[in-house]
């Protein structure tokens, strides 16, 4: 079984189209929308290709018209692009975002996976850094063999004995200092963190056309080009 694991697509269609096409299943760890220019197209891509999806804080925000509870640095970006997202998605797409579960479980080839967007205790909002000691405590009490999480846009794999927590990073808005779209592949009992180049400047051109302030356009573009905050 070859599983493509992605998170934080953030309406970046060019990045999503650069993801591998060879897999048995695609699992998505939330945040299909906001920040990027193509929320409708990314939602439809995920609906067509993913077999397991959980809801992220930006999906929750767009679906229920709620605060995404972003950091101060990203609050205005989330608010303005969130208004754009809610204006362009269809009611059916909004219902789809609402319908996504906060968590999911799956067993593949005897390996138990647990999926959420942020952390198991707080699936939508908790920001937990890759080097946080709380991950070891989380793994110690987990019933699953592998915890799959997103939210931070930082790829990492951390092990405790036979268990591990994996963050594939962000496909649509990486913050690991490299612009390519991040993802993970699970195959044959092993997981590998990967990335794929995509035409960043095409996404940049679309951002320049978004109905948000020039200041916020510049902020979104800076994050995409620098792959960081």
Phi and psi (nearest 5°) for 144?
-90, 160
> What is the domain partition of the chain in residue ranges?
2-226
Would you identify the CATH topology of the domain 2-226?
Purple Acid Phosphatase; chain A, domain 2 (3.60.21)
Cβ neighbours of residue 183 under 8 Å, at least 6 residues apart? 4, 5, 6, 19, 20, 168, 169, 171, 193, 194, 195, 196
The pLDDT averaged over each successive group of 10 residues in the chain (229 residues) is 98 98 98 98 98 98 95 89 97 98 97 98 97 95 96 96 96 89 96 96 97 93 84
In 10 A of CB 10, how many CB atoms?
Answer: 29
Question: What pLDDT score was predicted for residue 228?
Answer: 67
Structure tokens at 71: 């950091």
Q: Contact, 125 vs 57, CB < 8 A?
A: yes
Name the β-bridge partners of 5: 27, 184
CA distance linking residue 39 with residue 60, whole number of Å? 14
In three-state secondary structure terms, 116 is: strand
Tell me the H-state helices in 89-160. Answer: 91-99, 134-141
Question: What pLDDT score was predicted for residue 54?
Answer: 98
């Amino acid at each position: 079984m070859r599983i493509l694991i992605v998170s934080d697509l953030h309406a970046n269609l060019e990045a999503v189209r650069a993801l591998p096409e060879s897999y048995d299943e695609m699992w998505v760890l939330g945040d299909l929308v906001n920040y990027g220019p193509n929320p409708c197209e990314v939602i439809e891509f995920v609906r067509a290709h993913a077999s397991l999806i959980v809801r992220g804080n930006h999906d929750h925000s767009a679906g229920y018209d709620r605060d995404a509870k972003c950091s101060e640095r990203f609050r205005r970006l989330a608010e303005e692009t969130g208004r754009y997202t809610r204006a362009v998605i269809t009611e059916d797409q909004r219902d789809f975002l609402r319908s996504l579960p906060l968590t999911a479980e799956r067993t593949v080839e005897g390996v138990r996976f647990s999926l959420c967007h942020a952390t198991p205790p707080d699936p939508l909002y908790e920001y937990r850094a890759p080097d946080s000691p709380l991950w070891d405590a989380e793994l110690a009490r987990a019933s699953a063999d592998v915890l799959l999480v997103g939210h931070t846009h930082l790829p990492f794999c951390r092990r405790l004995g036979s268990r591990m927590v994996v963050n594939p990073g962000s496909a649509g808005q990486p913050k690991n200092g490299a612009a390519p779209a991040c993802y993970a592949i699970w195959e044959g009992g092993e997981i590998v963190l990967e990335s794929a180049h995509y035409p960043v400047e095409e996404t940049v051109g679309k951002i320049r056309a978004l109905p948000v302030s020039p200041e916020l356009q510049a902020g979104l573009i800076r994050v995409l080009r620098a792959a960081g905050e």
